[in-house]
């Protein structure tokens, strides 16, 4: 009921219409009402046919389950596993500094274990690069970008808060996640999410792409041309998104062909997983870098993504 009330407030719609839309989406598309609200689908002004094009998280998960054997999912769910695996296979990933966690870690710099808090302090103080990103593993939560300053770090995304190595380790140890991937911060770049699909012939192609911007802004990217579509950004009330600017609508993503080639190459190496969503970054002066792979086909709130998923399902 809270979801319906929120949708009514956000979209100025009547209870009956919002409830009917939520119910239709649930029955036909597997949408949880809260997810439908977040995707903006409870707005009755959005034509029902258009709303039906979006893919619910459940539909995406079900398709992923049909295309990716469950036994092979850990690698594309767990960032620490992927961080260990990807460089060995030569996938273009940011330089790994190590793994850091309560139950033990490892320094890619020295090759030694980071076995306890004392080791962790040493690792943080002496072996982390000057600009580093810490990503919880497993999980989809965002990373924590830090910049070395003096003997400690500045939490770039955390309002510039200064942290000593001991404070950083204590904060990591006290959190919900027990393992973190530490890699160099490749610097500002274009954040892309490319979904690949392997056909029965083993041919891998990009079937959807999107670009991400500050504040959660996003836009579809035409996979053939690399042209950026209209941008949207999440509404502050959490009821869908609104039009936005600044992602370069109508322009072509720089080095788009390279990005698609990298995603396809990575996906080929991860066969027989057939459907994967790749987080990538395009940094000036470097080739496309792969930040991670998602075998659950995390949601992307656009009808184009839903169309791509349905096409994958039909081609399966």
Partner 1 sequence: MRPGAALAELASLWRVSGRAAAGYGEPRLRAARRARRMRVEGAWTYEEALAEGILDPALPDDVRRRHRSKHAREEIQKRFGPYRLDALTEEKLTFYRYCEALGIPVPALYGTVGDAGTWSAATGRLARGAEAFARLVNDELPPAFVVKPVDGYLGWSVHALERDGGLLREADGRALSPEDLHAELVADPEFGLFLVQERLYNHPALERLRASPTLQSLRMVTLMGRDGVPRLMAAWLKVTLAGGARDNYEGGTSGNGMIEIDPAAGRMRRLVFPREDGVGTVQTTTVPGTGAPLAGEPTPLFDDARRLVLDAAPHFLPIRSLGWDVALTPDGARLIETNNFWGHAGLPMNPELVEALARP
User: Closest CB to partner 1 among 42 and 86?
Assistant: 86
Residue 277: φ, ψ to 5°: -115, 125
Task: Copy the structure tokens of residue 222.
Answer: 């035409």
Distance of closest approach, residue 94 Cβ to partner 1, in angstroms: 18
Kindly tell me which residue out of 20, 72, 162, 311 binds partner 1, with binding defined by CB under 8 A. 72
Considering only CA atoms, which of 224, 230, 223, 215 is closest in space to residue 194? 223
Q: Is 110 in the site for partner 1 (CB under 8 A)?
A: yes
Distance of closest approach, residue 185 Cβ to partner 1, in angstroms: 22
Determine the Cα–Cα distance for residues 312 and 316; give it in Å rounded to an integer: 6
User: Closest CB to partner 1 among 35 and 119?
Assistant: 119
Name the segment binding partner 1 (CB under 8 A); options: 107-115, 246-254, 283-291, 307-315: 107-115
User: Closest CB to partner 1 among 58 and 112?
Assistant: 112
Determine the Cα–Cα distance for residues 292 and 118; give it in Å rounded to an integer: 29
Name the segment binding partner 1 (CB under 8 A); options: 6-14, 24-32, 79-87, 145-153: 79-87
Determine the Cα–Cα distance for residues 289 and 277; give it in Å rounded to an integer: 14
Q: Is 170 in the site for partner 1 (CB under 8 A)?
A: no
Determine the Cα–Cα distance for residues 61 and 283; give it in Å rounded to an integer: 30
User: Closest CB to partner 1 among 113 and 298?
Assistant: 113
Distance of closest approach, residue 13 Cβ to partner 1, in angstroms: 42
User: Closest CB to partner 1 among 197 and 256?
Assistant: 197
Contacts of 85 (CB under 8 A, 6+ apart): 75
H or E element at residue 148: strand 144-149
Write the DSSP string, 82-132: HHHHHHHTT---PPEEEEEETT-EEETTT--EE-SHHHHHHIIIIIS-SEE
Q: Is 20 in the site for partner 1 (CB under 8 A)?
A: no
Kindly tell me which residue out of 12, 157, 187, 202 binds partner 1, with binding defined by CB under 8 A. 202
Residue numbers 239-278 binding partner 1 by CB under 8 A: 268-269, 271-272, 274
Neighbours of 158 (CB within 10 A): 13
Q: Is 314 in the site for partner 1 (CB under 8 A)?
A: no
# binding residues, partner 1 (CB under 8 A): 43
Q: Is 201 in the site for partner 1 (CB under 8 A)?
A: yes
């Amino acid at each position: 009921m809270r979801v319906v009330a929120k949708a009514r407030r956000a979209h100025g719609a009547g209870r009956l219409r919002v409830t009917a839309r939520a119910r239709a989406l649930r029955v036909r598309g597997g949408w949880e009402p809260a997810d439908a609200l977040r995707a903006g689908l409870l707005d009755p002004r959005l034509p029902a046919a258009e709303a039906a094009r979006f893919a619910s998280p459940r539909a995406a998960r079900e398709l992923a389950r049909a295309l990716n054997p469950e036994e092979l999912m850990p690698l594309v769910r767990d960032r620490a596993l992927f961080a260990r695996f990807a460089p060995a296979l030569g996938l273009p990933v940011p330089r790994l500094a190590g793994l850091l966690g309560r139950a033990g870690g490892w320094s890619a710099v020295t090759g030694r274990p980071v076995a306890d808090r004392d080791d962790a302090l040493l690792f943080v103080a002496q072996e982390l690069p000057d600009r580093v990103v810490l990503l919880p593993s497993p999980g989809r939560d965002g990373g924590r970008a830090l910049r070395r300053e003096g003997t400690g770090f500045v939490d770039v995304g955390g309002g510039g808060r200064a942290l000593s190595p001991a404070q950083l380790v204590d904060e990591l140890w006290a959190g919900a996640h027990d393992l973190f991937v530490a890699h160099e911060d490749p610097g500002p770049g274009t954040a892309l999410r490319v979904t690949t699909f392997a056909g029965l012939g083993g041919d891998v192609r990009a079937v959807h792409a999107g670009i991400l911007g500050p504040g959660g802004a996003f836009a579809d990217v035409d996979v053939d041309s690399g042209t950026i579509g209209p941008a949207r950004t999440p509404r502050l009330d959490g009821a869908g998104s609104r039009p936005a600017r600044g992602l370069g609508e109508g322009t072509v993503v720089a080095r788009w062909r390279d990005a698609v080639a990298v995603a396809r190459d990575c996906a080929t190496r991860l066969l027989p997983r057939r459907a994967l969503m790749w987080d990538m970054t395009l940094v000036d002066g470097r080739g496309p870098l792969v930040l991670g792979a998602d075998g659950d086909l995390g949601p992307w709130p656009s009808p184009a993504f839903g169309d791509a998923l349905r096409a994958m399902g039909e081609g399966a």
